[in-house]
Amino acid sequence: MTQAPSGTWRMLAQPTRGEKLPRGLDAAWTLAAGWINGLAPRRANLLAQAARVVALESKYAAMADAALRAAMADLKERFIRARRTHDDLIHAFAAIRESAFRVLGERPYLVQVAGAMAIESGCIAEMATGEGKTLTATLPAVIAAWRGRGCHVITTNDYLAARDAQWMRPLYRFCGLSVAHVEQGMSPEDRRAAYLADITYCTNKEVTADFLRDRLALGSRRGLTGAMLEAVIRGKAAGTDRFVQRGLHHAIIDEADSVLIDEAVTPLIISGWAPNSEQVEAYVTASQLADRLSPGGDYTVNERYREIDLTPAGRAALEGHCAELGGLWAGRRRREEIVVQALIARHFHHRDKQYVVQDGKIVIVDEFTGRLMPDREWREGLHQAVEAKENLTVNPPKDTHARISFQRFFRLYGRLSGMTGTAAEAVNEFWQIYRMPVVVIPTNRPIARTQLPDMVFATEHAKYAAIVEQIRRMHDIGRPVLVGTRSVRASEALGQMLQLEGLDHQVLNAVRHAEEAQIVAQAGQPGRITVATNMAGRGTDIKPARGVTEKGGLHVIASERHEARRIDRQLFGRCGRQGDPGSAQAIVSLEDELPRRHLPNLTAILHRRTARRSDEISGRLTRSLFDLAQRRAGRFALAQRKGVLRGDDWLDEYLGFAGAE
């Protein structure tokens, strides 16, 4: 008997194209619908369907290349005409699976096929590190491309977009499809050609920027239909010749939690220079005025919300300092805004943590990946405030021509799905924001990683001493060690400690990113010590060298807990891949940012009681402190992301920028 197709639950799982975020009773109903939807035996059904695909292996393996191509051409025709049945989908996956083996030498495992079917059905497939997500994505990408409207495969950086497109090109060509990639620096003509390919690999930043540029080309027109009609009448004057994209039809997002959650509140902005010497001078003056104000007396600092509030005494002091300045300093609201930005730059934006200085310029560091973002700037004068704080040349702020957040943009796709190594913690958010269920796909081989309980210390000094000692023990028995840090500063400081101890090591962070491929390639060698920011946790593969598995495999240490547990799991997932042995442990302190920011009172009480202790203070209470802080951080971050989405809805409604496609 033919089982129900995976599409039977797709009605509830479609992206909310143009739909506003629900509130009140509607929000409660949405959560309830997500809970009911989550009760569906989705994983069991997908594995059963994948078994049917694998059962067809002998049939398609017996075909000659010409016969296999002819079979796929027939299937493609059915998908284009939207006349396919669920059996057609099963046969399509089986044919693509056989094609992958013939041209790539890799035949997707049953669990990879199940992951591919989850993606095809509009879900987020959680697949553990090392399970072959890149190959998995090719199966639903081919199906999407066969529908004839193009498919975007979204990656997290230009290198992966180019690598994956080149790597999978033989498979796509065998399936009768073209593939291209989009990367920074490409001309509009090359971008247009890339988007016309059946399958286009690109980053979230590039595809969103191209969307905004196309929208600017639309001008006051409300949609593509009106623009095309005007083009017929007026020719190229309508601006349609400047379009590079052909629509947002289907997207498959790699590292979906990074793109759709971690970077969700980051707006993509198209801007232009707006020289203003008075504004530039004002940021320098504001930095000098900030030096004259004292914390506690003139202003208060809210660590959790990253806010600065001037006290009545601070406002009075600022008014006195500005009495003779004139100009914009005569207005209370404007002078307070610009000085508060200068204070925020001092208290919440630190060199080698939130940014680095390169060639006399501020370069933002991505908090979640540890990578540099040279094309990004903070908004509302914050970037200029940081430049002034560092005594660099202050550049004038730019005028915003168009903006959209990533979560708003990806909700515009007609079909949306994705994959990642960590999604289970964000099940509710994926459903509420994108209407995408999460399916946890089992691993091909049982996980052999040992997850050790957290070690908690009172102070950072005691924590790092324990980390160095543990690294030494692992190094002495020949096991490779990967230490994850949250900032460039922390990675460099730990590197200096290891150097003083005579332990040879490699440091991988945003400043040393050019060495990434070489460092990661060697991270699984016997006795190798690698200190890395989060950039080592995405898009990299650490393979244990021969002889390492017998000694216990790669050992991973987290020097801090992250605000999102998913990021911890990404780091721990660097070891124990594909059934290999490995171990992971977090070594943390009460002075870490996570507990101080999100549970300041309880953390302060515990710290006062244990501050003089240099030994481990691990216990049920101290470990629970970090779990509770992560949950509070998660709720706070979700509220922020919802706020940004509602802001986008407001802009769409009152400014009418986004229009209809």
Mean pLDDT of 357-386: 85
Mean pLDDT of 280-302: 92
Mean pLDDT of 230-249: 71
Is the per-residue pLDDT at 313 higher than 90?
A: yes
pLDDT of residue 234: 58
pLDDT of residue 524: 92
pLDDT of residue 233: 56
Q: What domains can you pick out in the chain, each with its CATH number? A: 23-268+406-440 (3.40.50.300), 275-396 (3.90.1440.10), 448-630 (3.40.50.300)
Mean pLDDT of 54-77: 96
pLDDT tens for each residue of 108-166: 999 999 999 999 999 999 999 889 999 999 999 999 999 999 999 999 888 889 999 99
Is the per-residue pLDDT at 657 higher than 60?
A: no
pLDDT tens for each residue of 521-562: 788 999 999 998 876 545 556 888 989 999 999 999 999 999
Cα–Cα separations (whole angstroms), residue 299 to 39, 118, 343, 344, 599: 50, 52, 9, 11, 21
Is the per-residue pLDDT at 220 higher than 60?
A: no
pLDDT tens for each residue of 601-640: 999 999 999 988 999 999 999 999 999 999 999 888 888 8
Is the per-residue pLDDT at 5 higher than 50?
A: no
pLDDT of residue 352: 87
pTM of full prediction above 0.95: no
What 3-state DSSP class applies to 590? coil
Mean pLDDT of 19-45: 71
**Window from 120-124, 303-307, 361-365, 646-650 with minimum mean pLDDT:** 646-650
Q: Choose the most confident range, by mean pLDDT, from 182-196, 237-251, 501-515, 528-542.
A: 182-196
What 3-state DSSP class applies to 250? strand
**Window from 47-51, 142-146, 486-490 with minimum mean pLDDT:** 486-490
The pLDDT confidence band at residue 14, using thresholds 50, 70 and 90, is: very low
Residue scoring higher pLDDT (114 or 402): 114
Mean pLDDT of 449-461: 96
β-pair type (355-358, 361-365): antiparallel
pLDDT tens for each residue of 490-526: 999 999 999 999 999 998 876 666 567 677 778 899 9
Euclidean distance between CA atoms 523 and 516, whole angstroms: 10
The helix or strand, by DSSP H or E, that contains position 404, with its residue range, turns out to be: strand 398-405
Nearby residues of 288 by Cβ (< 8 Å), 6 or more positions away: none
Residue 2 burial by CB count (10 A; 0-12/13-18/19+): exposed, middle or buried?
A: exposed
Q: Mean pLDDT score of the chain, rounded to an integer?
A: 87
Euclidean distance between CA atoms 398 and 384, whole angstroms: 11
pLDDT of residue 267: 78
Q: Are 355 and 362 in contact (CB under 8 A)?
A: yes
Is the per-residue pLDDT at 655 higher than 70?
A: no
Q: Are 122 and 62 in contact (CB under 8 A)?
A: no
pLDDT of residue 12: 37
Euclidean distance between CA atoms 544 and 553, whole angstroms: 7
The pLDDT confidence band at residue 218, using thresholds 50, 70 and 90, is: confident
**Window from 169-173, 231-235, 588-592 with minimum mean pLDDT:** 231-235
The pLDDT confidence band at residue 579, using thresholds 50, 70 and 90, is: confident
